[in-house]
Amino acid sequence: MILVTGGAGFIGGNFVLDWIANSDEAVVNLDKLTYAGNLETLSSLSGSAKHVFVRGDIGASDLVDKLLLEHKPRAIINFAAESHVDRSIHGPEDFVQTNVLGTFRLLESVRGYWSGLPADQRAAFRFLHVSTDEVYGSLSPTDPAFTEENTYEPNSPYSASKAASDHLVRAWHHTYGLPVLTTNCSNNYGPFHFPEKLIPLMIVNALAGKPLPVYGDGMQVRDWLYVKDHCSAIRRVLDVGKLGETYNVGGWNEKPNIEIVKTVCALLDELKPRADGKRYAEQISYVADRLGHDRRYAIDARKLERELGWKPAETFDSGIRKTVEWYLANGEWVRNVQSGAYREWVQKQYASEVKGAT
């Protein structure tokens, strides 16, 4: 089996659902269930023998040591992190705690477990660390896209904490020989995305008749990838990635934020027109900029294509349409997130399965 950390979050949740749909191998899912962890995302797996959920912290060494010995995973995919840049600006400590210290403790637990494996299992073992393009810093409009050779220049508390975690992973490979792989991905979007991030926030605010807050001039550029494509890239790297290597993952979809917001508005105009006949774009409201806001990210994903044969399946047009349709069809998931009911639901639905440290 494999161990996934942070598998109740947006990308981890999509990854667990895809894995179980496409593989016979079971998943142990270790997640602390912070505000971003939502077991309702995994409700279709309730009762499945292929999914073992454990509530716990990647930094709780006793728990992680015990889980590793009990389940003997052949691979670990580390999604667990504090992931929201704005939250990192308001309160960086949780980011250092989980992304830096948590990753360090997880690496130490994994190193202990891996060292004790028989030689063949030690050779086959993999630790895949899921990271971000934000570690490379910000690009000017004319700079080439980030390659794996770019230097690390993180600018926010979030990206600095992720950069630190990447360095730890690299060092555990170089020093101890731990068989690691690292992926650095661009902005994801798709189903089960917590509505604090740009795309889901714009969809739910638009439908609620609320303002659509665009930071600064709205001309910051991000490179968007449909979440299922990120999941397929991770599976590919896990299967055939070269040990100790990093792989950039991106969708070749660079777009300014204001264009993303207008695209979401246009899709909603088509799929769920406003009752008053007006356009959703009328709700756009320019607000104060994010502190230290990175101007542009862009990913050069050619190494992953050239060496491992991966390419995204979705275009931005197909992925964003699927995403808006998903939010329209899953109003209950959204309402439960907004009301906080998803956290009560966790207690009720998973009381017997939730164990371990919090």
Among 19-27, 125-133, 210-218, 338-346, which window interacts with ligand NAD (CB under 6 A)? 125-133
Interaction partner, residue 220 (ligand DAU, ligand NAD, none; CB < 5-8 Å by kind): ligand DAU
Residue 215 or 326: which CB sits closer to ligand DAU? 215
State the number of binding residues for ligand DAU (CB under 6 A).
Answer: 19
Shortest Cβ distance from residue 217 to ligand NAD (Å)? Answer: 22
Report the C-alpha dihedral over residues 244, 11, 165, 128, rounded to 10 degrees: -20
Q: Among 207, 189, 208, which Cα is nearest to 199's?
A: 189
198 part of the interface to ligand DAU, by CB under 6 A: yes
35: CB partners within 8 A, 6+ apart: none
Q: Within the chain, where are the H helices? A: 10-22, 61-71, 85-90, 93-95, 103-115, 119-124, 157-176, 198-207, 227-240, 257-271, 302-308, 316-329, 331-339, 341-350
DSSP state of 144: P
In the complex with ligand NAD, which residue's Cβ is closer, 126 or 162? 162
In this structure, are strands 221-226 and 254-256 parallel, antiparallel, or unpaired? Answer: antiparallel
Determine which residue in the list 29, 83, 159, 323 makes contact with ligand NAD, applying CB under 6 A: 83
Q: How far is the CB of 232 from ligand DAU (least distance, A)?
A: 17
- Catalytic residues, by residue number, are 133-134, 158
User: Which of ligand DAU, ligand NAD, none is residue 257 near (CB under 5 to 8 Å by kind)?
Assistant: ligand DAU
Beta bridge partners of 215: 287
Contact pick of 31, 40, 134, 300 for ligand DAU (by CB under 6 A): 134
Three-state SS string over 17-57 comes to: HHHHHHCCCCEEEEECCCCCCCHHHHHHHCCCCCEEEEECC
Q: Which of residues 28-47 bind ligand NAD (CB under 6 A)?
A: 31-34, 36-37
The candidate with the shortest Cα–Cα distance to 190, out of 80, 318, 311, is 318
What span, in angstroms and rounded, lies between the C-alpha atoms of 10 and 188? 9
Q: Is 130 in the site for ligand NAD (CB under 6 A)?
A: yes
Is 83 one of the binding residues for ligand DAU (CB under 6 A)? yes
Nearest to 230 by CA among 53, 10, 37: 10
Select from 119-127, 208-216, 246-254, 347-355 the region that touches ligand DAU (CB under 6 A).
Answer: 208-216
Query: In this chain, which stretch among 65-73, 128-136, 231-239, 242-250 interacts with ligand DAU, using CB under 6 A?
Result: 128-136
* Rounded-to-integer distance, Cα 176 and Cα 195, Å: 40
Q: How far is the CB of 46 from ligand DAU (least distance, A)?
A: 27
**82-104 exposure pattern, b = at least 16 Cβ within 10 A, e = fewer:** bbbbebbbeebeebbebbbbbbb
Nearest distance in Å: CB 50, ligand DAU: 27
Site string for ligand NAD, 305-324 (x = CB under 6 A): --------------------
> Which parts of 169-198 interact with ligand NAD (CB under 6 A)?
185, 187-188, 194
Nearer to ligand NAD, 125 or 136 (CB): 136
Residue 17 token pair: 């659902």
Interacting residues with ligand DAU (CB under 6 A): 83-85, 132-134, 186-187, 197-198, 201, 213-215, 220, 222, 257, 290, 297
Interacting residues with ligand NAD (CB under 6 A): 5-6, 8-12, 31-34, 36-37, 57-59, 79-83, 98, 102, 130-132, 162, 185, 187-188, 194
